[in-house]
Amino acid sequence: MDSIQDKLKNMISVERYNHSIGVQETAIKLADRYGANSNKASIAGLVHDCAKGLNHDEMLKAAKKYGIEVNDVTKSQPGLLHGPVGSCMARELFSINDEEVLHAIWYHTTGCRDMSLLDKIIYIADYIEPSRDFKGVDKLRAAAFQDIDRAVLLALDNTIKFVIEKNQLLDLLTIEARNFMLVNH
């Protein structure tokens, strides 16, 4: 039987695979730092982008197949569905049944209200893994290991500003994630 790594390599580009390994390694470090389960962080980090190789048509078809709700935002930006679709694919193709892992994969792009520690770890690891390079990444890398809630809030702010600058639709889950973090962290 092929390992998850072998299967994953056939599903996404080399660059995306290398990014996934970076997220996996960063997620393990964050799990160690905050006392989360590093096996769950490892597997969620590795497979979080398994649906990233689907084009928009395939993404919408997969969402329908898995019964994932498509709204006005995701219909016009199907790429946002790679979290939910990836979560369903992880269950089907990699036999991952751990609900915490599947939840972290589902919400890794948008965030969501009341994120678990594992959700936050995958969200931030995706943002700061070693190959990521954007203005402010160093600040976010430092924050991630000092105060993960502050890092998640910074990253959500960053994403929202970026989406507005690009004149794209904002996913309501991202707003809910930020509001919750602002009130509760």
Question: Which of 109, 178 has the CB closer to Fe ion?
Answer: 109
**8 A C-beta contact, residue 59 and residue 47:** no
Q: Which of 26, 31, 46, 49 binds Fe ion (CB under 5 A)?
A: 49
CA 9 to CA 180: how far, in whole Å? 36
Is the Cβ of residue 49 or residue 119 nearer to Fe ion in the bound state?
49
Query: By CB under 5 A, which span of 29-37, 45-53, 94-102, 163-171 interacts with Fe ion?
Result: 45-53
180 close to 172: Cβ distance less than 8 angstroms = no
Output the smallest distance, CB 98 to Fe ion, in A: 19
Residue 48 CB, shortest distance to Fe ion, in Å, is: 6
Contact 148, 30 (CB under 8 A): yes
Q: Total number of residues binding Fe ion (CB under 5 A)?
A: 2
Q: CA-to-CA distance for 1 and 10, rounded, in angstroms? A: 14
Cα 48 to Cα 109: distance, rounded to the nearest angstrom: 9
**Stretch binding Fe ion (CB under 5 A), from 47-55, 111-119, 140-148, 175-183:** 47-55
- Of the candidates 94, 85, 155, 71, which has an alpha carbon nearest to the alpha carbon of residue 121? 155
Cβ-based neighbours of 69, under 8 Å, separated by 6 or more: none
Q: Coil, strand or helix: which one is 107?
A: coil
Asked if 178 and 153 touch (Cβ cutoff 8 Å), the reply is: yes
At its nearest, how many Å lie between Fe ion and the CB of residue 132?
9
Least separation in angstroms between CB 56 and Fe ion? 15
**Distance of closest approach, residue 145 Cβ to Fe ion, in angstroms:** 19
**Binding of Fe ion at residue 171 (CB under 5 A)?**
no
Among 30, 60, 104, 126, binds Fe ion (CB under 5 A): 126
Among residues 35 and 58, whose Cβ is nearest to Fe ion?
58
Detail the DSSP E strand segments found in 10-121.
Answer: none
Determine the interface stretch with Fe ion among 49-57, 96-104, 152-160, 175-183 (rule: CB under 5 A): 49-57
Binding footprint of Fe ion on the chain (CB under 5 A): 49, 126
